[in-house]
Amino acid sequence: MNKKQITINEAQQQVDNWIKNYGVRYFSELTNMAILTEEVGELARIMARKFGDQSFKESDKKYKMADEMADVLWVLICLANQTGIDLNDAFQKNMEKKTIRDNKRHKNNEKLK
């Protein structure tokens, strides 16, 4: 199946449209921050079991890593939308900042070689 690739701006618009059509309204920013923390915790649970030392429990098997990552992205997009952040612009500026700040730092880190 061919999946359509979308831009960050398109993702922000899709989430906003979904909220307007199905979600009634955005939850408050503080509620969404708490939900984001919860979703990151669910992702951490899977990561700790899949790549870390913890064993899977039967109840963990219902969680899917890709779905949990998408949940994190969804709530992050909600927060960006309701606080007026253009994530595409913010991401580009963040990449520029990291490139200027860290362009030699990691290459010179003996622990990474």
Q: What is the pLDDT of residues 28-76, one digit of tens each?
A: 999 999 999 999 999 999 999 999 998 888 877 788 999 999 999 999 9
Amino acid at 72: V
pTM for this model (two decimals): 0.88
Question: What is the percent of the chain with per-residue pLDDT over 70, rounded to a whole number?
Answer: 98
Mean pLDDT of 2-22: 95
CATH, domain range 8-112:
1.10.287.1080
Q: Is 30 exposed, middle or buried (CB count within 10 Å of its CB: 0-12, 13-18, 19+)?
A: exposed
Position 106 scores a pLDDT of 87
What value does the mean pLDDT of the chain take? Answer: 93
Q: Cβ of 69: how many Cβ atoms within 10 Å?
A: 15
pLDDT over 70 (residue 83): yes
